[in-house]
């Protein structure tokens, strides 16, 4: 599930009213549970459930047919989609809480859990998008240069590409999380940028790197493979 809200990493402030809590714009409380946002969050949770079930069935089919070793990148992609859908369910289900006091132990851990699940979801989405580009390149070589692919492309290269995918995505996510997460006066604020220009640059980088560039790779590889 590659939602624009997940990939753009837009500013989401989780602040408290007393100790540590979250803003009303990030959580659906009982008072606003009948609004449009409530139904949007419910729809996202349903999409996550359907996506989890679908990807689980695909993985089961690949393992049952003993094709999982042959299509390692496809299996990796389905695992990433399965994880992202599961995290989507948890992250948005937490936003459906009713009458939870944002004080004490629950008030402390509730926004922290939101931050953890949201950023883990961002991480998995980054890995998934890059893996799609790797799949496109591998498919291009298989169709257009099958002999070269068979002679030079080894399994360790594919596994190395997958590992580098995770390393690069983790490094990028941490570079965003640590500098922009602060706890001033007992408040937990996530995605807080020191300037609007820094935030704008980060958004532009996300769009160019994880949308435009990936889309160009997919178009070039798949059009090249079928022409």
The hierarchical CATH code for the domain 4-226 is 1.20.1070.10
With pLDDT > 90 as the criterion, what percentage of the chain qualifies?
A: 42
Specify the residue for token string 């007992």. 186
CA distance 154 to 69: 13
Amino acid 189: pLDDT: 58
Instruction: Tell me how far CA of residue 120 lies from CA of 68, 207, 224, in angstroms.
Output: 25, 19, 34
Asked whether residue 199 carries a pLDDT value surpassing 70, the answer given is yes
Q: Which residue has the tokens 């590659």?
A: 2
d(CA 80, CA 44): 18
Angstrom distances, CA of residue 132 to CA of 62, 73, 152, 170: 18, 9, 21, 17
Of the pLDDT bands very low, low, confident and very high (cuts 50, 70, 90), residue 56 is very high
Who contacts 141 (Cβ-Cβ below 8 Å, separation ≥6)? 148, 149, 153
DSSP string, the chain: ---HHHHTT-------SSSS---TTTS--GGGTTSHHHHHHHHHHHHHHHHHHHHHHHHHHHHHTT-TTT-HHHHHHHHHHHHHHHHHHHHHHGGG--S--SSHHHHHHHHHHHHHHHHHHHHHHHHHHHHHHHHHHHHHHHHH-HHHHHHH--HHHHHHHHHHHHHHHHHHHHHHHHHH-B-GGG--B-S--S-HHHHHHHHHHHHIIIIIHHHHHHHHHHHHHH-
Q: How far apart are CA 174 and CA 211, in angstroms?
A: 20
Are 15 and 182 contacting, i.e. CB atoms less than 8 angstroms apart?
no
Better pLDDT: 112 or 4: 112
Residue 13: pLDDT above 80?
no
> Which pTM was predicted?
0.76
The whole-number average pLDDT for the span 142-163 is 90
């Amino acid at each position: 599930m590659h939602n624009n809200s997940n990939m753009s990493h837009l500013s989401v402030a989780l602040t408290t009213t007393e100790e540590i809590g979250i803003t009303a714009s990030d959580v659906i409380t009982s008072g606003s549970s009948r609004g449009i946002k409530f139904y949007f969050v419910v729809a996202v949770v349903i999409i996550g459930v359907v996506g989890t079930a679908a990807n689980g069935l695909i993985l089961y089919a690949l393992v049952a047919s003993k094709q999982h070793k042959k299509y390692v990148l496809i299996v990796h992609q389905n695992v990433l989609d399965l994880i992202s859908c599961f995290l989507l369910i948890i992250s948005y289900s937490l936003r459906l809480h009713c009458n939870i006091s944002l004080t004490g132990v629950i008030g402390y851990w509730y926004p922290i859990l939101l931050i953890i699940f949201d950023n883990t979801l961002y991480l998995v989405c980054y890995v998934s998008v890059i893996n799609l580009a790797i799949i496109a390149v591998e498919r291009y070589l298989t169709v257009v240069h099958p002999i070269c692919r068979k002679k030079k492309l080894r399994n360790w290269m594919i596994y190395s590409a997958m590992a580098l995918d995770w390393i690069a995505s983790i490094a990028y996510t941490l570079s965003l999380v640590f500098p922009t997460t602060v706890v001033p006066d007992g408040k937990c604020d996530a995605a807080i940028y020191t300037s609007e220009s820094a935030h704008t640059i980060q958004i532009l980088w996300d769009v160019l790197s994880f949308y435009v560039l990936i889309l160009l790779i997919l178009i070039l590889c798949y059009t090249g493979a079928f022409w």
